[in-house]
Structure 1
Amino acid sequence: MRGRGGWGYPLFERSRELGGGELSAPRLRSDTPEKAGLDPGELRHLVREVHDLTTGQRPWAAGAVVAAGRGPVIAVAEAAGWAVRYAAYDPKTDRGAELPPRARVPMTVDTPFDLASLTKLFTAVAAVQQIERGTLGIDARVGAYLPEFRAAAEHGITVRQLLTHTSGLRPELPLYDCPDDATRLAMLRAEPPVGVPGTYTYSDLNLLLLQHVLERITGRRLDALVHDGITRPLGMTSTRFGPCPGAAATEDQRRPWAKADRGMLRGEVHDENAWALGGVAGHAGLFSTARDLAVFCRTLLAGGSYGPARILGPDFVELLLTPPGLGFAVDQPWFMGELAGRGAAGHTGFTGTSLVLDPATDTYLVLLANTVHPRRRPPDNRPRARAATRLARAVRGS
């Protein structure tokens, strides 16, 4: 079940070895649903429903890519709709101004997407890598690493609280309205918790502070940590911080519905704060493809290894995914559907991206869409939940 630009994967070669004599973890390959131990009928429904999401005058998304599989097999890799469909958004008609057909860009399975908050998962993995190495304490206070972040230091915010969104920090700050980097940094340093520490409040600021911690203890930028510690060893060559020419378009970003006046965005980070911070941020900024994210999911399901590479040990993958999850959301039916309930982990992104991996069934689902093209609207997570439910039923019906 492949859409435009389908992939091929090398078969697992058992002669390849990890350090210490361990056999390589199997690499992904494309094959039939039956070879993956999945019901082909449910996956046909999944593919049809993803195509339906991109049709009509007011589609859920202009375009989408879905990848799903079990074990080392990708059983679905399908593209639908358009990577670029609209020239602009018309607030008078509340519709997108459609490009002529010849000027539109069709979606393919290799189209990169602005991952938005899926970036948080990579920041979380980078943090757990430092925990594994002993350079970062999970229950250490942020002030021990960043004493100049006086508000976080005074309130005893810990690394664990940043990773579990229990620091009490507000969801975001208007860094995009600051005149320069120094003002933005001063605002972050002075920001105190507004909620009760220990109580869950989802916040981009948690991952921004964690980015500063990681950069302080390693002496390296976050983009280098992600590249050298995650994407390069896993062969995720399409995953990087922007700009990313050829990415699916996102929003005609203008006030008052957006927080900045930037016009139609394609290949530049959508999140206004990440843009203000130069495109590299702990909470947003990465671009990637469905194939690369399937590799990321497979690596975690395999205990941190993929092919000859190991990015985390199994105990630290377990730490990452054990409820409530470090960076990852765990067992959330609102976007995981019937996959939720036995330890499924994943995340969503504002631009329309999501992924779910389920250790209980060894399955993974990547659904990437440009739902904010041509402009943002209240999120509708029902299509994500339906897609995940199709995969759960494909396991049960196999």
Structure 2
Amino acid sequence: ETIYDLASVTKVAATTVVVMKLYEMKKIRLDIQVKSYLPDFSGGMKDSVTVRHLLTHSSGIRGWDKLWEHGTSREDAIDYIINLPLEYTPGDSMVYSDLGIILLGEIIRTVTGESIDVLASSMIYKPMGMENTFFNPPADLWSRIAPTEVGGNLDRGLIRGTVHDENAFFLNGIATHAGLFSTAEDLAALAEMLLNNGIYRHRRFLKPETIQEWTQSQNLPEGSDRALGWDTPSEKGSSAGDYFSDGSFGHLGFTGTSIWIDPNREIAVILLTNRVHPTRERGGIYQVRRKFHNAVMRALLQEMGIKIIQEEAVGNTKKNKLFDSN
């Protein structure tokens, strides 16, 4: 019943699922230059930045900035991002970038004429019956929403029912990097669709090959764990824990949310918390995530007849060897 502010899980539960739908519709191409959609984003290294670079956080665009200090409107924010100098050669590094994903949202708006909230609702949430997933939840649902921070950077008092992320708040609650609210049940429906090769309740939402492209590590730059919007478990110390198999993918949210999906074992693990309540200074969420995912996965693997037969120390984590006892 509880509705949570998903923070950066928005990037996969709204933004990139819409991008991949538009990719299937041939309205967005992954390897075309961003300037083809946004002509003002050009000159120097910007000429080589592609949509794929934005999706893999390898575009050269800085990670974050206080957009509310650089204008008074969404248009001002987009102009500011477009005119920022790149901080590294596109494709050479991976720097997690909210600003790059916000720019991706402007591409979505350019090719469709619609904002992310309208598209995600019409393409995914309404036809899938995800009735508790939305941007800017109506006030009559606020009593069901987990509160986030008290005050925050903008001194907004108790934040409940409006987006926690300051840049998304500045963008009127509708943004491609943060702003989505949802429940564990609704996210489980989205995960079920992905685990079922794009089909949910007998209706196809994505092609299997689109899901494969979307969720596999792009190795861009070489050694990066990022897929197209999604993350994949790192070799050492992943917040997903130690038991997700190769090919798994997921994403975290600053407010204490996450989703991890293991397609090989048909498992999805969703963790929704309001760890920033009453303040973001509360620590420990990394260890909570690891312990939670390890406990859940151990239980599920045991139920599936898969046993851990050996644990070898690898750095600060453990490498688990599994075998099927059936």
- The TM tier, using the shorter chain, reads 0.7 to 0.9
Map Cα deviations across residues 167-212 of structure 1 (whole Å, 9 max, x no partner): 1111112112234114323212202321232111101012101100
- Matched residue of 2:240: which SS? helix
1:391 maps to: 296
Structure 1 unpaired stretches of 5+:
1-109
Question: Which residue does 2:27 correspond to in 1?
Answer: 135
Q: Taking CA–CA contacts closer than 8 Å with sequence separation of 6 or more, which of the two structures ends up with the larger relative contact order?
A: 1
Please, what TM-score do these two structures have when normalized by structure 1?
Answer: 0.69
* Matched AA of 1:193: L
- In the TM superposition, what whole-angstrom CA distance separates every residue of 1:124-182 from its partner, at most 9, and x where no partner exists? 11111111111111101110011023469834210001111111111112112234114
**Bigger Rg, which one:** 1
What SS is found at the alignment partner of 1:134? coil
**What is the aligned partner in structure 1 of residue 115 from structure 2?**
221
* Among 329, 332, 338, the residue aligned to 2:231: 329
1:359 paired to 2:263: yes
> Are the counterparts in 2 of residues 152 and 191 from structure 1 also a CA contact under 8 Å?
no
Give the structure with the higher percent strand: 1
Q: 1-side partners of 2:2 and 2:289: how far apart?
A: 19
How far, CA to CA, are the matches of 1:232 and 1:152 in structure 2?
42
Q: Let me know the Cα RMSD of the aligned residues.
A: 1.6
Letter in 1 for 2:187: L
Distance 2:229 2:288 in 1: 23
Could you list the structure 1 runs, at least 4 aligned residues long, displaced by more than 6 angstroms after superposition: none
1:120 alignment partner, one of 1, 5, 11: 11
Aligned match of 2:82: 189
- The 8 Å contact of residues 45 and 86 in structure 2, kept in 1 or not, is answered as no
| AA aligned opposite 1:206 | G
Contact 2:245 2:264 in 1 (8 A): no
State the match for 1:250 in structure 2.
148
CA deviations on 1:278-332 (whole Å, 9 max, x unpaired) are 1000100000001001111111111111103222111101111111411110123
- Preserved contact between residue 361 and residue 395 of structure 1 (Cα < 8 Å): no
Counterpart residue number, 2:95: 201
**1:75-154 matches, cutoff 5 A:** 110-121=1-12, 122-150=14-42, 154=46
Q: 1:365 Cα shift?
A: 0.8
Partners of 1:212 and 1:223 in 2: CA distance: 13
Separation of aligned partners in 1, 2:100 and 2:46: 16
Moved more, 157-166 or 182-191: 182-191
1:329 partner SS: coil
State, as a whole percentage, how many aligned pairs show the same letter: 37
The answer as to whether partners of 2:45 and 2:89 remain within 8 angstroms in 1 is no
Structure 2 gaps, min length 5: 218-225, 304-326
Q: Is the 8 A contact 2:60 2:90 kept in 1?
A: yes
What is the alpha-carbon distance in structure 1 between the residues aligned to residue 299 and residue 270 of structure 2? 15
**Aligned-partner SS, 1:336:** coil
After the TM superposition, which residues 246-325 of structure 1 pair with which residues of structure 2 at under 5 Å, given as runs? 246=143, 247-254=145-152, 258=153, 260-323=154-217, 324-325=226-227
Distance 1:371 1:310, change over 3 A: same
Letter matched to residue 392 of structure 1 = M
Aligned length: 285
Which one-letter code corresponds to 2:150 in the other structure?
D
Residue 279 and residue 201 in structure 1: after superposition, are their counterparts in 2 closer, same or farther (change >3 A)?
same
The alignment's TM-score, normalised by the length of structure 2, stands at 0.83
